[in-house]
Structures are given as structure tokens and as C-alpha cells.
Amino acid sequence: MESLLGGAVASKPLSAHQLQVIADRFRALGEPTRLHILSALRGGEQNVTQLIEITGFGQANLSKHLQLLLRLGFVERRKEGVSTYYRLADADVLRLCEIMCGRLEKEVARQRKLFAT
């Protein structure tokens, strides 16, 4: 399993389409609302009504974001009667956020260093 950007493809540049597909995934995580939803699913599956209560977002807005996250494979769902339960599709989101948060922590540490005399 090799990454397109990092691995042995250094010689093989990415096609415009490949870049677009990857960018779409990152952009899906590039909205606070969607991160909030994903964060709310960390503890386990929730149906839409529960997510509305947890996050405070509007129903239509929430549903739209869930469809997008579903389409890009970040969440999966299970229908039970009239309810739909959403869950994180895998741990990748958590890993991705770990890296991003690590960056932020490094950044904060750098700032602190600048102001320390």
C-alpha cells in the first residue's frame, strides 16, 4: 500500500483528477460544522435527532453535511425503523486530526518560545 503523494510516485506527477479527488476529501474535513459532527460520533453511533440535540445544528443543515460525509466515506449509517444511525466509518479521521492537532501544538510551542525571554 503506497501513498500517491508520499511514496514511490515522486517521479509520477498526479493527474488533475487525482488531485481533485484527494482535495475533495480534505475539504470535507475543512468545515467546523462537519468536524463537530464527526467529533460527536466519537463516542459511538447517533441518530440524526440525537445529533441535532448534541450539536444544535439545524436538521436540514445537519442532514446535508451527513450526506456529504457519507458520500466521501467518512461515516457509515444504519437504518432502524424511521431513524438513521450514523457512525464513524473508521479511525482515519481520528488519525488525521491527531496529525493536525500535533501541528497546532508545535505551532503553539513555537509561539511560546518566541515570547519567552
Partner DNA sequence: GCACTATATCACTATATAGTTATATTAGCA
Partner DNA sequence: TGCTAATATAACTATATAGTGATATAGTGC
Residues that bind DNA (CB under 7 A): 27, 31-33, 47-49, 52, 57-61, 63-68, 77, 79, 81-84
The strand pairing partners of 87, in sequence order, are 76
DSSP secondary structure string for all residues of 84-102: EEEEESSSHHHHHHHHHHH
Reading the block at residue 88, the C-alpha cell is: 464513524
Q: 88 is in the binding site of which of a second copy, DNA, none (Cβ under 5 to 8 A by kind)?
A: none
- Which DSSP symbol is given to 7? S
> Between residues 20 and 59, which has the closer beta carbon with respect to a second copy?
20
64 is a contact residue toward a second copy (CB under 8 A):
no
> What distance in Å separates the CA atoms of residue 82 and residue 88, rounded to the nearest whole number?
20
Q: 65 is in the binding site of which of a second copy, DNA, none (Cβ under 5 to 8 A by kind)?
A: DNA
Residue found under cell 482535495 = 23
Per CB under 8 A, the segment of 5-13, 45-53, 57-65, 76-84 that binds a second copy is 5-13
Q: 41 is in the binding site of which of a second copy, DNA, none (Cβ under 5 to 8 A by kind)?
A: none
